[in-house]
Structure 1
Amino acid sequence: MLDTPAAQVPALSLKDEAADPEAFAAALGGSFERFGFAVIADHGVPQDLIDRAWAETAALFGLSEEEKRSYFTPAGGGQRGYTPFKTEIAKDAKHVDLKEFWHVGRELPAGHRFAADMPANIWPTRPEGFQSVFLELFEAFDRAGDRLLSAIARHLKLAPNWFDHAVEDGNSILRLLHYPPIPADAEGVRAGAHEDINLITLLLGAEEAGLELLDRDGKWLAIRPPDGAMVVNVGDMLQRLTNHVLPSTTHRVVNPPPERRGHSRYSMPFFLHPAPDFLIETLPGCITAENPNRYPVPITAHDYLHERLVEIGLVKK
């Protein structure tokens, strides 16, 4: 794994978005069109909040298996609460992923119109600071995501606020990931080759080696962001919306060298989703004679999400 060449994904600063929105949008869009990925520094999520979130994450996954499994609801498709080790499998993969995770979703007021589609959060009794930290972190990710979506809209020649209505009360999910220590001869990889379902994913924790993207020539490239930077990638919903102008790139998390397999790996991806009733319909500006519409039949975000959760084994048909 250490011999995997690094992807030359440029590190962009979100501070530049405020200073020169058009230039930042062009740089972000160019990185997405080339790699399906971008590296974002100065993303605005406070470092002290991130540090608290790592501490709460380690404490959560350090609980007993029995206690963690008390927060597992198989009928919920893993949308909230705990999902045990070796549950999720990448589409068409032969082996389940070597990970366990916890999902935090958007808090909705009682009687909200999306309450039937977006289940209530499951909060653990321990660690005590868990709920307050991750509600705060969810909001911070939301703010960063809104700024990135505004830049994407500019790149696509849309109004900067085009995505605002799409993601208002969106079904976004903050995933806390733990890749436990594994034996040197472990079968499979920590996360099999896959594409994300959502609009964009904002990831913290990629400084630890392992994340790789599949380049156009079929070679795997390692993503190695600077300390504190966020890795952002295009999801399948945005790929579909843009008729593949912005590609959703296959990626994976490979196992570390044998001498590092006795160590845990943690990461925190924020899967930014639109609202369940958002209609994913190809943008007219992304349809040309050279790039005809691949998706003449639109689909709601809710229906698309359900289809994909079935494919990865979190929801049964």
Structure 2
Amino acid sequence: MTFHVPTVDIAPYVADGAAADREEVARQIDEACRAVGFIQVIGHGIPDTVIDGLTDALDRFFALDLDTKKGYRTPPQVNRGYSPPKSESLSLSLGVESATRMNDFFEAFNVGASSAAYPHVTDLPQPDYAENVWPAVEGFEPQVQGYFAEAARVARTMTRIFADALGLDDDFFPSRTDHSLDVMRMNNYALPPGTEVSLDGDLIGMSEHTDFGIVTVLWADQVRGLQVLGSDGSWNDVHPADGALLINLGDITAHLTNERWMSTLHRVKPPVIDGTIERRRSVAFFHDGNVDTVITTLPSCVDEHHPALFEPVTIAEHIAAKLRGSRAGIRNDAAGREAQRVLDSGRY
């Protein structure tokens, strides 16, 4: 069977369209989440000017020299600021040892929703809701914040569609995301000239992983690199269509649906052409949910033929275990199901 990422126009939800049109969108999303776990969405409503501002901001930041960028690093437990090349290994978030630890070839800059974003909630735990680190790059903060707000809107639109597709009450996701742990990661897969990074045989852009939370909204260049694991165990190239965003499900949604909807494994292979790395950029907005929410499988997704696959877990516990793997190099041994899929793919 040919691997295919479906394209869905979500405009009926963005523009409050007719009930029948929204029902059709929810049906298409349910079908895509069952079959692939990745979706191309159009009709998302993010203006081109906002995306242009985002790409301008990340281009100017990543053009800085490496020492300057390293000045914006934070400790591994604080999911903010700059991550240099080869400082992470996403496969460890699944408990899978890569051939060379902490060898993922990408640099990134993270921002997220701080406690100030949720004034209606007191005593939010730190560093989950840490303040952002903003580089001294003119216009960077407003340009990035502008896109962050739009991506957050799209993520919440998707959870509204998810609720309809799963037959849930309208307040199901809002009650679990009113102080959501939202993080946006800007990734760069090519470095300025003169940066010393060896193109060794073990190099990988971003190693095999599943996303951690509810849903991810991904903007990316139309440059090859992103690969998604198909149901047959094959790795398949994926890049966004013109004007589209890529949507994929995270582990929390897989837990909720008892893997009726899959948190799909994906990776990024270095875009190497003629011995040099072709520039590739992506921006992933992770909508992860409230840290104090306990995730339990939906009763509608459990029956005698589909027993519950997961124990209840708080979002905080789940995210912390994944981050200890990817950012601190501490293998996550609680992700056995996802790890087995990586091993079955033949990568290790």
Task: Confirm or deny: 8 A CA contact 1:172 1:271 kept in the other structure.
Answer: yes
Task: Confirm or deny: 8 A CA contact 1:6 1:223 kept in the other structure.
Answer: no
Counterpart residue type for residue 124 of structure 2: F
TM-score, normalisation: structure 1:
0.91
Q: Distance in 2 between matches of 1:46 and 1:114?
A: 32
Task: Confirm or deny: 8 A CA contact 1:206 1:223 kept in the other structure.
Answer: no
Q: Distance in 2 between matches of 1:188 and 1:262?
A: 11
Provide the secondary structure at the position in 1 that maps to 2:267.
strand
Query: Superposed, which structure 2 residues align to 1:182-197 within 5 Å?
Result: 187-197=202-212
Alignment correspondent of 1:36: 37
Match among 124, 129, 147 for residue 157 of structure 2: 147
Alignment correspondent of 1:307: 321
Alignment correspondent of 2:23: 22
TM-score, normalisation: structure 2:
0.84
Q: CA deviation at 1:54?
A: 0.5
Q: Aligned-pair RMSD on alpha carbons?
A: 2.1
Any stretches of 5+ residues in structure 2 without a counterpart? 192-196, 332-348
Any stretches of 5+ residues in structure 1 without a counterpart? none
Q: Distance in 2 between matches of 1:21 and 1:260?
A: 48
Counterpart residue type for residue 124 of structure 1: P
Q: Distance in 1 between matches of 2:60 and 2:173?
A: 36
Match among 294, 298, 305 for residue 279 of structure 1: 294
Alignment correspondent of 1:72: 73
Q: CA deviation at 1:60?
A: 0.5
Q: CA deviation at 1:165?
A: 1.5
Counterpart residue type for residue 79 of structure 1: N
The percent identity for this pair of structures is 27
Alignment correspondent of 2:99: 94
Alignment correspondent of 1:123: 134
Query: Superposed, which structure 2 residues align to 1:223-242 within 5 Å?
Result: 223-242=238-257
Task: Confirm or deny: 8 A CA contact 2:213 2:286 kept in the other structure.
Answer: yes
Counterpart residue type for residue 97 of structure 1: D
Task: Confirm or deny: 8 A CA contact 2:209 2:265 kept in the other structure.
Answer: yes
Task: Confirm or deny: 8 A CA contact 1:82 1:101 kept in the other structure.
Answer: yes
Q: CA deviation at 1:282?
A: 1.0
Q: CA deviation at 1:206?
A: 4.7
Q: Which moved more, 1:270-279 or 1:85-94?
A: 85-94
Q: Distance in 2 between matches of 1:257 and 1:230?
A: 24
Counterpart residue type for residue 38 of structure 1: I
Task: Confirm or deny: 8 A CA contact 1:9 1:38 kept in the other structure.
Answer: yes
Task: Note the alpha carbon deviations across 1:53-111, whole angstroms, 9 max, x for none.
Answer: 1011011111121111111112x425011111111102212232100101110133278
Change (3 A) 1:186 1:130: farther
Q: Distance in 2 between matches of 1:208 and 1:250?
A: 19
Task: Confirm or deny: 8 A CA contact 1:88 1:97 kept in the other structure.
Answer: yes
Counterpart residue type for residue 158 of structure 1: L
Task: Confirm or deny: 8 A CA contact 1:6 1:221 kept in the other structure.
Answer: no
Q: Which moved more, 1:57-66 or 1:102-111?
A: 102-111
Alignment correspondent of 1:8: 4
Q: CA deviation at 1:207?
A: 2.0
Alignment correspondent of 2:115: 108
